[in-house]
Chains A and B, each alone.
Chain A
Amino acid sequence: MSKSAPQDVENKFNPEQSNPSLSCLYRGNTRNGLSEREIEILLSVALEQGGNFAEIYWECSKGCSLELSKGVLEANHSYLEGVGIRVICEEKTGYSYSNDLSFSKLKEASRTAARIARGAQKVNIIRFIPTEAPSYSPIIHLPSKNSLQSKVNLMKRAESAAYRYDSRIKNIQVYYDEQEKEIQVANSEGLLITDHQTLCMLYMRPIVQENGRAGQGWAGDGGRIGMELFQQRTPEELAAEASEYALVRMQSIEAPAGMLPVVLAAGCGGILFHEAIGHSLEADRIRSGSSMYTGCLSQKVASELCTLVDDATIPNLRGTINIDDEGTPGQRKVLIEKGVLKKYMYDKFNAMRMGTSSTGNGRRQSYRYVPNPRMTNMFLDAGEDDTEDIIKSVPKGIYVKHIGAGSMNPTSGRFTFTVTDGYLIESGKITYPIKGATLIGNAAEILHQVTRVGADLKFDQNTGNCGKDGQEVPASTGSPTVKIAQMTIGGTVV
């Protein structure tokens, strides 16, 4: 099919009268996405003024969030559906979106996106070849098929377990979140593909108080998984973990300030590598030259102990994707191998401009956003060192078990992270918990400062999102125990 649908065909078809776009996620008629005919018309309208590429993205999601606090339960639900239409004309992107799914409004959105081209050369629309998405995350008990009550029970179990754990636990907030989403992606290159996506998580924040001192704890788990997760990681287990965390925090002393060696516990360092290094390996930053890794393929950018991977195929992790939000199947990419830079992460647009193909990293928060290159499950691969030995090797330093908020200036490479669960290492032993510490470093140097890498690769709690350019997507990170020769610690004890 190569041209816009002639007028008479449109009149006979009359898409305005088709059924409302209900998905089987909601009660009512079941229809996933737009019909092939509707997509054909929308793509033609999108390319009316010219352009190299057009894409129709349909999304429907049903989510439920529960919060249990002081015995009071709050529930909220989201029923969202929308379409995002994109036109690419050389370097330019036109985008429009609509959650009014009447066909006239969708055509209007298509026309709006088309304006980016303005008389440029037009590409031919290739006939669809429907393809099937891979399936990386087996799910046994779909959250949407389980009652609201069953989830409330999980939360109540966590709440009572926390209060039973220690009488100093004064307050606990328990959260449960689930989302099921269906997407349909079609483009002028003949792609037509759909995917069903599931996410759930349970997490909690207890607070302990005693004699004017307070401490906050945290624990949680989740992923692209069903309710079976909570048989392996029970609410009681999570509550104990969170409560212990809070109790330790209450004992914390002021953190030192200055330069010290740092040991990152298995599972906690991933976020640092994701922020400090990962974003600089995304194709948009490479192409614009704002990344320090632009033009550095095949160069040594890290110590030989460092192998950095982005893998979208690991079963059930939060960042795992069967297909990205442009319809490209998720893949495993070795980005840095034994210190040498091997690969960047691409979405479709940047791959087109750079003469290569998408690596399945084109993601978007929802139909309201243009996709950009994003990570999936980013991790530093396991080494061979012994964890105990690594800690013993530090005469004075910091041991980090949990990193909270952080950010990096991609141009200067300078980054800062808050340590939410940290400890002093003195003479090779972990001693006191510390509070108020930040880790400051430079992205260009940090991977060269990795001197020991353990064999204990662990992933984070699968409850996090990656934020970039005002959009958030689910992601997870991982790392083994890692020693960094030295970093600046922002504490208060000079």
Chain B
Amino acid sequence: MDYYTLAIDMVKKAQRAGASQSEVCLQFGTYFSLNVHKGQVEVLTNARPRILTLRVFCGNRMSFGTLSNFTPVIVNNFVEDIVTSARLTESDPFNGLPEPDLSSVQVQDLKLYDPSGEHISIDEKIDWLKEMEAAAYAVDEKITQVHSCYQEALNTTLVVNSETVFREFSGSVYKVSCKTIASSDGRRQTGNYSVMKRYLKELPCPTEIATKAAQQGLRQLKARKVATQKVPVIFEGKVAGKFWLWISRLLNGDFIQNKKSFLQGKLGTEIAKKNVTVIDDGTILGGIGSSPFDGEGVSTQKTVLIKQGILNSYLHNTYTARVTGAKTTGNALRMANGAVKVGYSNFYLQPGEDKPEDLIKSVKNGFYVTNMLIEGGDAASGNYSTGARGLWIENGELTYPVEEVTIAGNLSELLKQIEMIGNDLSLEWALASPTFKVAALTVSGK
């Protein structure tokens, strides 16, 4: 099937049906996943998914839809239905396609695509997971269960619109996860470790992944409860990225223009300590969150959101930028139902100068977070709470593992209480962070 012709024709059909502007986003590719348990394949999934979303504007009225059946009769009916639906919606002066992006016609190659997974046989992948499973059991006899999973997705994304934009890029994702259960004296704990890379050869060896997963669970077997108290908290860099999900929401154009973020109306003001600089960059070569263009076909960029504590910019798509009188930052996120929202690309706290060990040494009595388990945050008030696991810090040293506790507080206060930032930023995930220390947070235990 020629998807390119399909997309271009659909835009033409929509225009003929009465749309003033229209846009098709089409994604197609291959998906493969493999689960191994007790040396055997459990589930093997292999498919060629494709999904098409059509967005149509009749003046300032908009409607959109998703379609998975591309037979001509259905395509025609679908286009007509979406255009009809657009006419029934309300006019919104901020609706419309992005202004044509004249500065870059060439789509930048960000080194996001590696099809080598297709040339590795299924048997080799099965063997790889079996090796990982065996390595996990070999770490300690207390490891009683291991689940291993491999996923591979190769996708091409195409954005075509009536302003003669035609952009495509291909990306690959290879993900390996190892989940272990450690049991001892009637106690059971999980340990998880997963890795996601653009290039197959960048995946670490199976033993490394298995060992990290197993050690997590083993350590938690000795975990103790702690009393509820207010103490300094250090977030380990590798997991701290999840924390920045909340911050990305506070800066999200959708939340801002809906007045659902307390950072609304605060551009140019000091919202954090001077050591805090937060960046979103869609142009990082090989980055997990990178793409040459966003969900609307606008080129991505590097945006400094918080600059030395001052709120410098929000994340925007064309619509949210227009509502707030700003410019799009190339952060349009296409949802599965075709909606265009705002998302982050590679979002991170800029590293500081301190060595992570020095952060730990600076704490007499506090908590070192190695896992966060839940996101319960309200961008309007800034209140958040999360389950967490980690190690207790006593006299500048990491000591015993701590059982699941809750950390609750307010993000507005927290941003102003980041005392130290480590130099250990690693962009392994789309949300990334160096290790950082917060002066005082309430840790709820027993």
Contacts and interface: CB of A to CB of B under 8 A. Distances in A.
Interface of A: 20-22, 26-28, 65, 69, 71-82, 91-101, 109, 112-113, 115-116, 148-149, 152, 170-171, 173, 207, 214, 216, 257-259, 288-290, 368, 370, 404-407, 409-412, 414, 416, 418, 435-438, 440, 488-492, 494
Contacts of A112: 46-47
Nearest to B444: A490
Interface string B360-397: 00000000000001111010110101010000000000
Given A416-B387, A494-B442, A79 B69 contact: yes
A170 B403 CA distance: 42
Contacts of A259: 446
A115 to B, nearest CB: 8
Contact of A72 (B48, B70, B92, B260): B92
B62 interface: yes
Contact of A438 (B47, B82, B188, B376): B376
B1 interface: yes
A490 B385 contact: yes
B88 A171 contact: no
B68 interface: yes
B74 A26 contact: yes
A20 B73 contact: yes
A214 B74 contact: no
B73 A28 contact: yes
Nearest to B228: A257
A71 B90 contact: yes
B190 interface: yes
A77 B82 contact: yes
A152 B85 CA distance: 12
A122 B387 CA distance: 48
B404 A412 contact: yes
Contact of B65 (A79, A93, A95, A99): A79
B9 interface: no
A487 B375 CA distance: 20
B337 A76 contact: yes
B229 interface: yes
B103 interface: no
B419 to A, nearest CB: 19
B258 to A, nearest CB: 7
B259 interface: yes
B376 A370 contact: no
Residue among B47, B189, B446 having the largest count of chain A Cβ atoms under 10 Å: B47
A409 B373 contact: yes
A471 B191 CA distance: 22
A262 to B, nearest CB: 14
A78 B54 CA distance: 10
Interface in B399-431: 403-410
A488 B446 CA distance: 7
15 contacts: A26-B77, A27-B81, A72-B90, A74-B62, A78-B66, A80-B69, A95-B44, A100-B70, A148-B88, A407-B374, A418-B374, A436-B385, A438-B408, A440-B406, A488-B445
Given A438-B376, A492-B409, A411 B188 contact: yes
Interface string B212-224: 0000000010000
B116 interface: no
Residue among B49, B187, B230, B383 having the largest count of chain A Cβ atoms under 10 Å: B383
Given A490-B405, A494-B230, 11 more contacts: A26-B74, A65-B337, A76-B63, A77-B81, A79-B65, A81-B68, A148-B85, A411-B188, A418-B374, A488-B444, A490-B444
A171 B260 CA distance: 10
* Contact count band on B: 35 or more
Contacts of A438: 376, 385, 387, 406, 408, 444
B47 A74 contact: no
Interface stretch (B10-18, B35-43, B237-245): B35-43
Contact of B71 (A20, A92, A418): A20
Given A77-B85, A494-B442, A216 B380 contact: yes
A363 B404 CA distance: 31
A148 B145 CA distance: 52
B188 A22 contact: no
Interface of B: 1, 37, 40-51, 62-71, 73-74, 77-78, 81-82, 85-86, 88-92, 122, 145, 181, 187-190, 220, 228-230, 258-260, 337-339, 373-376, 378, 380-381, 383, 385, 387, 403-410, 442, 444-446
Nearest to A84: B47
B74 A96 contact: no
B49 to A, nearest CB: 7
A170 B259 contact: yes
B162 to A, nearest CB: 19
Residue among A91, A288, A438, A490 having the largest count of chain B Cβ atoms under 10 Å: A490
A98 B43 contact: no
Nearest to B55: A76
B47 A97 contact: yes
A254 B373 CA distance: 22
A416 B404 contact: yes
A116 B44 contact: yes
A492 to B, nearest CB: 5
Nearest to A27: B77
A69 B47 CA distance: 38
Contacts of B91: 72
A406 B374 CA distance: 7
B348 to A, nearest CB: 25
B90 A73 contact: yes
Contact of B189 (A75, A94, A216, A412): A412
Contact of A28 (B74, B220, B374, B383): B74
B408 A490 contact: yes
B387 A82 contact: no
B444 A257 contact: yes
A31 to B, nearest CB: 12
A494 B229 contact: yes
A78 B338 CA distance: 9
Contacts of A78: 65-67, 337-338
A186 B97 CA distance: 44
Contacts of B376: 404-405, 416, 418, 438
A116 B82 contact: no
Contacts of A405: 374-376
Contact of A69 (B1, B46, B258, B445): B258
Given A116-B44, A494-B230, A28 B77 contact: yes
Nearest to B375: A405
A304 to B, nearest CB: 25
Nearest to A258: B228
A116 B123 CA distance: 11
B42 A100 contact: no
A366 B189 CA distance: 32
Contact of B47 (A96, A148, A491): A96
Contact of B50 (A28, A100, A488): A100
A489 B444 contact: yes
Residue among A20, A71, A414, A492 having the largest count of chain B Cβ atoms under 10 Å: A492
A92 B380 contact: no
